[in-house]
Structure 1
Amino acid sequence: MSYQLIELDIQATDNIQCLHCQQHVINWAEEQYIQPCEHVLFIAMDIGFEYMTDEFEQTMPRSVDDLHAHDDQVNMFAEIVKSTYPDYLIFKSDLGIEGYFRYVGFTA
């Protein structure tokens, strides 16, 4: 396994901070709440991707466009963990909808 899953015990409206540089990569105080730093590989939800680096997308078996085209049939978490990216961390947090989650991938 090239990833480590870290489940965050936070509310859906809480900010998520980079463990490397402490930047709030999910920052609800900003109009554009997605604020990726250089350590973020992707920001995804069970319903689709909000952000992904080209570097990480190249390690996935399917493109983001293909995944979004079939998002009603795709398990986003299962697709993320199929990546061949060498080592990364996935922060999993509640999305605020029962049974749905947000996933933020960071370099290890």
Structure 2
Amino acid sequence: MAYQLVQLDIQATDNIQCPHCRQQVINWAEEQYVQPCEHTLFIAMDIGFEYITDEFEQTMRRTVDDLHANDDQVSVIAELMAAQYPEFTIYQSDLGIEGYSRYIGFTA
């Protein structure tokens, strides 16, 4: 398994920081609340992607454009878990919508 899944026990409106550099990659105090750092591979939700590096996208079975075009037929988390990136950690948190999650990938 190339990834580790970490379930965060936080509220949907809590900030999320990088485990390496401690930058707030989700920072609700900023107008642009998505603030990826150099360790961030992707920021996604069950309903699509907010950010992804080209390096990570190239290891996925499908492109983000393909996933967004067929969003009613795909599972974002399944696509992330199937990526062939060498080692990464997925932080999963509540999105604030019943049954939906946010996923943030960091380099290992």
Shared fold, TM over 0.5: yes
Q: Name the residue aligned to 2:48.
A: 48
Q: Name the residue aligned to 2:60.
A: 60
The superposition leaves residues 72-95 of structure 1 with CA deviations (integer Å, 9 ceiling, x where unpaired) of 111100011110000000000000
Alignment of 1:26-105 (within 5 A): 26-105=26-105
Q: Structure 1: how far apart are the matches of 2:72 and 2:32? A: 26
Corresponding residue SS for 1:85:
coil
The superposition leaves residues 1-22 of structure 1 with CA deviations (integer Å, 9 ceiling, x where unpaired) of 1000000000000000000000
Q: Structure 1: how far apart are the matches of 2:61 and 2:90? A: 18
Q: Percent identity over the alignment?
A: 75
Q: Structure 1: how far apart are the matches of 2:6 and 2:76? A: 16
Following TM superposition, by how much is the alpha carbon of 1:23 offset from its aligned partner in structure 2, in angstroms?
A: 0.2
Q: Structure 2: how far apart are the matches of 1:102 and 1:31? A: 18
- Are 2:8 and 1:8 equivalent residues in the alignment? yes
Q: Structure 1: how far apart are the matches of 2:98 and 2:18? A: 25
Provide the alpha-carbon RMSD of the alignment: 0.4
TM (normalized to structure 1)?
A: 0.99
Q: Structure 2: how far apart are the matches of 1:47 and 1:74? A: 10
TM (normalized to structure 2)?
A: 0.99
Q: Which amino acid aligns with 1:57?
A: E
The superposition leaves residues 26-83 of structure 1 with CA deviations (integer Å, 9 ceiling, x where unpaired) of 0000000000000000000000000000000000010000000001111100011110
Structure 1: which 5+ residue stretches go unaligned? Answer: none
